[in-house]
Amino acid sequence: VKTQLLIPAAGLGVRLGAEGPKALVPLAGKPMLAHTLERFRPLGLIPAAIVLIAPEHRALFETALDAAFPGMALRLVPGGAERQESVANGLAALDADTEIVVIHDAARPFVATASIQASIEAAAEFGAATVAIPSVDTILEGDADAFLTATPDRTRLWACQTPQTFRTEVIREAHRRARADGFLGTDDASLVRRIGGPVKLVHGTRLNMKLTTPDDRRLAELIAGGQFV
């Protein structure tokens, strides 16, 4: 089954405390994106990967990827102003015979290859899957003035991660309908669910965190450098 990887990497590193693209922030001497892509190597998904980037950063990404993956011409496709637009551009750039698409944020460099594999299997069976972890924290809903409004039952809550993996026609239809309805989501699985499609939840790991803040970056530096295992 032909499977292709899409990596949204068009975000900026503002919250992380970095200048330029967050995906190129170095961790243990290598750009974050190179660490992320390495997790897909055992599945053979690097060569046909499509990386969504801010167009003004193309030269930076070309240089970084040539150094990390010499001879592999990864495709760089312009992303959009929102993550959902970036993914839509990636879906439009897939090879015509791709049956399964794996969408994984550049900002999650420590995904377990076993989680990726499990998401691919679940997507083949159910049409859509997302990696997620049962919430260890009690999640609070608050109002605009930071007063507690509700405490949802934790046993039913999961924290969303990526990869999110889909049969190609399922995610294309979900994006088409979201665009038609003017719906903007923060992930792709929610677009499938809102039009009634099943989405299987696949267990991820705590290490598959999204690097967002300067603290995350310092922790990631230790993990990438092998000082944390």
Which parts of this chain interact with ligand C5P (CB under 6 A)?
8-11, 22-23, 52, 79-83, 86, 105-107, 210, 212
Token pair 């991660």 in the structure block, residue: 161
Burial label for 38, CB within 10 Å (0-12, 13-18, 19+), is middle
What CA–CA distance (Å, rounded) separates 54 from 35? 19
Q: State the minimum distance, in angstroms, from the CB of residue 90 to ligand C5P.
A: 9
The nearer residue to ligand C5P, 30 or 124, going by C-beta atoms, is 30
The nearer residue to ligand C5P, 57 or 200, going by C-beta atoms, is 57
Q: State the minimum distance, in angstroms, from the CB of residue 106 to ligand C5P.
A: 4
The nearer residue to ligand C5P, 117 or 212, going by C-beta atoms, is 212
Contact, 118 vs 202, CB < 8 A? yes
Copy the structure tokens of residue 216.
Answer: 């995350």
Q: State the minimum distance, in angstroms, from the CB of residue 36 to ligand C5P.
A: 9
Q: State the minimum distance, in angstroms, from the CB of residue 11 to ligand C5P.
A: 3
The nearer residue to ligand C5P, 9 or 131, going by C-beta atoms, is 9
Q: What is the CA radius of gyration of the chain?
A: 17
What CA–CA distance (Å, rounded) separates 8 from 27? 18
Amino acid identity of residue 174, one-letter, is: A
